[in-house]
Amino acid sequence: MKDKFLSTDSYKGVRDFYPDDMAIQSYIFDVWSQTAESFGYERYDASVLEPAILYKSKGAENEELVNEQTYTFLDRGEREVTLRPEMTPTVARMVAGKRHELVFPLRWYSIPNLFRYERAQRGRLREHWQLNCDLFGADDVSADIEILALAHQMLINFGATEDMFEIKVNNRAEMTKLYSELGINDEELVNKITKLNDQKAKISKADYTESMEKILKDRKLTLAVIKMVEEKVTDHELIKGLATLGINNATIDRSIARGFDYYTGTVFEIFDKSPENNRALLGGGRYDNLTAMFGGNTVTGIGFGMGDVTMRDFLETHDLLTANITSPTIMVIPAETNLNIEAQKIAKQFREADIKVATDMSQKKVGKKISDAGKQFVEFALIFGEDELNSSTFTLKNLTDGTEQSGTLTELINNLTT
Amino acid sequence: MKDKFLSTDSYKGVRDFYPDDMAIQSYIFDVWSQTAESFGYERYDASVLEPAILYKSKGAENEELVNEQTYTFLDRGEREVTLRPEMTPTVARMVAGKRHELVFPLRWYSIPNLFRYERAQRGRLREHWQLNCDLFGADDVSADIEILALAHQMLINFGATEDMFEIKVNNRAEMTKLYSELGINDEELVNKITKLNDQKAKISKADYTESMEKILKDRKLTLAVIKMVEEKVTDHELIKGLATLGINNATIDRSIARGFDYYTGTVFEIFDKSPENNRALLGGGRYDNLTAMFGGNTVTGIGFGMGDVTMRDFLETHDLLTANITSPTIMVIPAETNLNIEAQKIAKQFREADIKVATDMSQKKVGKKISDAGKQFVEFALIFGEDELNSSTFTLKNLTDGTEQSGTLTELINNLTT
């Protein structure tokens, strides 16, 4: 019997947003947008569908990764299409497409949904939303400072304080120089060290040292590399620049690597300092060749991405989440269903005064209508019958404290709006 | 040579939203959201990925349609996935999934992107966005009146007046009764007549009559059906109800059918009255069995959808589109690049007073920086060097009229915010 009916579950690994979850999602997106726009960033967007070639252009290894880890399929015109797994290739495509018309420095942001095909496991979703902020066409250190200040402000504007998170900064070009000073110039070797450093926080000190020695095949060099990675750097122009803007929770961390191989200079991550929540909240870096695959002059840039799931975890962990449900302010409740159209007329008057209002035109009893309005987080109920209509005097009941106020509709509207 | 590089084109049939188009899109979404919320509707959303079975459940014919007209593919777990072509099955799934917890009447809205696989032709996109508003759990006529009033208000809130559009209303149940009164009770026959009526506005009167006679195989009955369809109906409770709310551009039109077969009562469309723009702007209707496929008690409802492309066409045709680009208000321009970090500090002060501000840290000459700021629709430039820093007196240049004002940063901020 049960098999006759369809399941009400969503597709595996994606989320339904019922109004209570949607309200939180909208709140997060609003703070992201307002913060980005306060720094002069303009919003853009594109379709989730992109030509698969956009992600495959870096050789066979990449092609395999795209096939395994993304949603990629053939359309009926034999075009290979991918559901975007990240926004950076899309924004590079769009900037390259209009690079002769766009005015630089160019500040853009977007809040795309991104897809990854992964075995569904606890906390790993196949779709998430991500704020992307990018500053193109400026390679001065102050551009790096701005993007870090913007990332920092994103958290401050949710009510976070500097003790709740830390900014860890590194620089790919500086790392190349530091390895070179130790006599390590082989690119492949540097990549292996970088990958190991990326794991550093997740493994024991002994394992880290042992793995490093396996890579370097030299005990003395191993210790020199580890010393260099672990050294506390205080004299760095980025950190000093941030301090002049009042930002004091950023440090240089030579183990920060970032996965994407398009980064060329500054790379950074922001971590939640709460031990419950140890994933990076945000990450980004500088890229200088991102538009190269489209030909023409390359455009430099620096940017970051931050996801909705880790953001919400952070806000919940630090008790910063403010509920923001878009319930109506007033429920107009007719005593009889033959007054349902009169209820609409009353609602219209409140609405014209910019008050959110709905009516309950159902067959339920008045008492049930009132308690249901309370369940929907409505603030006031206006219950009326023929008497109220004849006398033009109505009563507004506060559903939180039970208090009442009476008057004409004009008087009640004035009380609510002044 | 050229083939070495990737194209910067988007995937076929979808759109890139550069900031100028995105600003228009955001404006449309904002008016939709605010209007829906003013009627007490709460926002929800879901993933674009849905199990394909959700669209295939109505038999073989429907299955073929789904395979041909939607993006449907197998994931690596052999699950058949569809990019949602409409939102109604999703909202039915979500309501059915929590029908025991949700409070009715339930008012929900969403602005999903929807996908259709069609041969790409002029004006026919493969992805578009659509406002969906639904009122569940109320079958009183006042519910139908509310949803029509909401649809009407959507256009009014963009600045439209009643002479720019018309609301055409019909009712499936009334049609069945009217056909029955003419002796037509065969469901298949009624479906054929309904499909022809749906084409009525697009074909000649002669063709319409001829086709109707072909269906009915009776001249007298044909004329009776056409007379019934064309009759002007003035005495209808929906039209009268709307009039009491001050809505006077709705009429009964017996040719309105609506494509989806889930409608059971009221159906309606809103048309742009401009001859340039003759597609329906909006359409919807009442459905009483939408959640039936999930089992349990069915939930009644009435709702409508309106698309972003036809909405934007309407606004452009009637000159109602207000540009709303999110440019910064001020561009801070250092005279030398060694003052770039000072520029960030100045920007920070304006930003703390809720003024949108950016800096130009590029190598460009000051004159070029000023003209570029103008191109980006920035209102003011603040150009400064060592002198301004030493004297703490700055000048704000209005980029529209060339006027200037000088003062300390605090004074300038006060002038802008009061």
Euclidean distance between CA atoms B112 and B87, whole angstroms: 7
CB B373 within 8 A of CB B331: yes
Nearest to A103 among B75, B93, B376 (CB): B376
Sign of CA dihedral B229, B231, B236, B239: positive
Euclidean distance between CA atoms A309 and A68, whole angstroms: 23
Which B positions 348-377 lie with beta carbon below 8 A of chain A?
Answer: 348, 351, 354, 356-362, 372, 375-376
Sign of CA dihedral B344, B346, B347, B348: positive
pLDDT at residue B182, as a whole number: 95
Cα–Cα distances in Å, from A14 out to A11, A48, A385?
Answer: 6, 15, 47
> How far out from the chain centre does Cα B373 lie?
33
Termini Cα distance of chain A: 58
Euclidean distance between CA atoms A47 and B116, whole angstroms: 13
> How far out from the chain centre does Cα B221 lie?
41
Mean pLDDT across B17-32: 96
B112: preceding bond cis by omega (within 30 degrees): no
The CATH H-level superfamily of B327-417 is Anticodon-binding domain (3.40.50.800)
Euclidean distance between CA atoms A371 and A383, whole angstroms: 12
Q: Which residues of B touch A325 (CB under 8 A)?
A: 42
Angle, helix A141-156 to helix A19-38, in steps of 10 degrees: 150
pLDDT at residue A3, as a whole number: 59
Residue A210: left if φ>0, alpha if ψ -120 to 50, beta else—which one? alpha
CB-count burial class (<10 Å; 0-12, 13-18, 19+) for A5: middle
Euclidean distance between CA atoms A212 and A216, whole angstroms: 6
Residue contact B81–A11, C-beta within 8 A: yes
Euclidean distance between CA atoms A135 and B344, whole angstroms: 14
Residue contact B327–A375, C-beta within 8 A: no
Query: Mean pLDDT over all residues of chain B?
Result: 92
Query: pLDDT by residue (tens digit) across B172-229?
Result: 999 999 999 999 999 999 989 998 998 888 899 999 999 999 999 999 999 999 999 9
CB A366 within 8 A of CB A397: no
Euclidean distance between CA atoms B1 and B16, whole angstroms: 26
CB B290 within 8 A of CB B88: yes
Q: Is A81 on the interface with B (CB under 8 A)?
A: yes
Which B positions 105-164 lie with beta carbon below 8 A of chain A?
Answer: 105, 107-108, 113, 115, 117, 126-127, 137-138, 140-143, 145-146, 149
Res. B53 pLDDT band, cuts 50 70 90: very high
SS3 B173: helix
Tokens (6 digits) for B72: 């449907």
Residue contact B17–A46, C-beta within 8 A: yes
B334 phi and psi angles, rounded to 5 deg: -75, 140
Euclidean distance between CA atoms A168 and A283, whole angstroms: 9
In sequence order, what are the residues at sequence separation of 6 or more whose Cβ sits closer than 8 angstroms to the Cβ of residue A44?
A91, A94, A108, A109, A110, B16, B17, B18, B19, B22
Its ipTM equals: 0.94
pLDDT at residue A2, as a whole number: 46
Please list the ranges in chain A whose pLDDT falls under 70.
1-3, 58-62, 119-123, 260, 323-324
Query: pLDDT by residue (tens digit) across B346-404?
Result: 999 999 999 999 999 999 999 999 999 999 999 999 999 999 999 999 999 999 999 99
Q: Which residues of A touch B45 (CB under 8 A)?
A: 16-17, 22, 25
Residue range A15-317, CATH number:
3.30.930.10
Residue contact B103–A77, C-beta within 8 A: no
Euclidean distance between CA atoms B257 and B263, whole angstroms: 9
- State the nearest Cα–Cα gap between A39 and chain B, in angstroms: 5
Query: pLDDT by residue (tens digit) across A242-262?
Result: 999 999 999 999 999 887 678
Q: Which residues of B touch A7 (CB under 8 A)?
A: 51, 294
pLDDT at residue A1, as a whole number: 40
Euclidean distance between CA atoms A47 and B9, whole angstroms: 12
DSSP B254: T
Residue with tokens 């400026």: A138
CB A36 within 8 A of CB A150: yes
pLDDT at residue B340, as a whole number: 96
Residue contact A22–B16, C-beta within 8 A: no
* Lowest mean pLDDT segment, chosen from B17-26, B114-123, B195-204: B114-123
B105: preceding bond cis by omega (within 30 degrees): yes
Q: Is the pLDDT at B337 greater than 70, yes or no?
A: yes
Termini Cα distance of chain B: 58
Amino acid letter, residue B48: V
Euclidean distance between CA atoms B110 and B29, whole angstroms: 10
Q: Which residues of A touch B141 (CB under 8 A)?
A: 340-341
Res. B2 pLDDT band, cuts 50 70 90: very low
Nearest to A57 among B6, B107, B345 (CB): B6
Interchain CB contacts (distance < 8 Å): A and B:
269
- State the nearest Cα–Cα gap between B407 and chain A, in angstroms: 22
Residue contact B47–A375, C-beta within 8 A: no
Q: Is B77 on the interface with A (CB under 8 A)?
A: yes
Q: Is A198 on the interface with B (CB under 8 A)?
A: no
Tokens (6 digits) for A124: 């790993």
Q: Where are the domains of chain A?
A: 15-317, 327-417
Q: Is the pLDDT at B255 greater than 70, yes or no?
A: yes
SS3 readout for chain A: CHHHCCCCCCCCCCCCECHHHHHHHHHHHHHHHHHHHHCCCEECECCCEEECHHHHCCCHHHHHHHHHHCCEEECCCCCEEEECCCCHHHHHHHHHHCCCCCCCCEEEEECCEEECCCCCECCECCEEEEEEEEEECCCCHHHHHHHHHHHHHHHHCCCCCHHHEEEEEEEHHHHHHHHHHCCCCCHHHHHHHHHHHHHHHHCCHHHHHHHHHHHHCCHHHHHHHHHHHHCCCCCCHHHHHHHHCCCCCEEECCCCCCCCCCCCCEEEEEEECCCCCCCEEEEEEEECCCCHHHCCCCCCEEEEEEEHHHHHHHHHHCCCCCCCCCCCCEEEEECCHHHHHHHHHHHHHHHHCCCCEEECCCCCCHHHHHHHHHHCCCCEEEEECHHHHHHCCEEEEECCCCCEEEECHHHHHHHHHC
Euclidean distance between CA atoms B373 and B362, whole angstroms: 12
Q: Which residues of B touch A375 (CB under 8 A)?
A: 103
In sequence order, what are the residues at sequence separation of 6 or more whose Cβ sits closer than 8 angstroms to the Cβ of residue B108?
A19, B41, B42, B43, B44, B91, B95, B133, B134, B136
Residue contact B11–A127, C-beta within 8 A: no
Euclidean distance between CA atoms A39 and B123, whole angstroms: 36
SS3 B110: strand
pLDDT at residue B1, as a whole number: 40
Beta bridge partners of residue B130, listed in sequence order: B307
CB-count burial class (<10 Å; 0-12, 13-18, 19+) for A12: middle
CB-count burial class (<10 Å; 0-12, 13-18, 19+) for B75: middle
pLDDT at residue A251, as a whole number: 97
pLDDT at residue B323, as a whole number: 65
CB-count burial class (<10 Å; 0-12, 13-18, 19+) for B336: exposed
